[in-house]
Copies of this chain bind each other. A is one copy, B any other.
Amino acid sequence: MVAAVVTASRALVAVSARSLAAVGEALTVPQFRMLVVLEAGGPVNLSRLAEHLAVNPSTAMRMADRLIAAGMVERTTDPADRRAAKLALTSVGQRVVHQVTRRRQEEITRIVGAMPAERRSAMVEALQAFADAAGEPQVDPGTYGELLLPGWN
Instruction: Please list the residues of chain A having a beta carbon within 8 angstroms of any beta carbon in chain B.
Output: 1-15, 17, 28-29, 105, 108, 111-116, 119-120, 122-141, 144-149, 151-153
Q: Which 9 A-B pairs have the closest CB atoms?
A: A123-B126, A11-B134, A114-B133, A3-B141, A11-B136, A4-B127, A8-B127, A2-B141, A7-B131
Docked complex Cα distance between A111 and B139 (Å): 19
Given A138-B7, A139-B10, do A133 and B111 touch, yes or no (CB 8 Å)? yes
Cβ of A12 and Cβ of B9 under 8 Å apart? yes
Docked complex Cα distance between A141 and B6 (Å): 8
Given A115-B133, A133-B114, A149-B13, do A140 and B108 touch, yes or no (CB 8 Å)? no
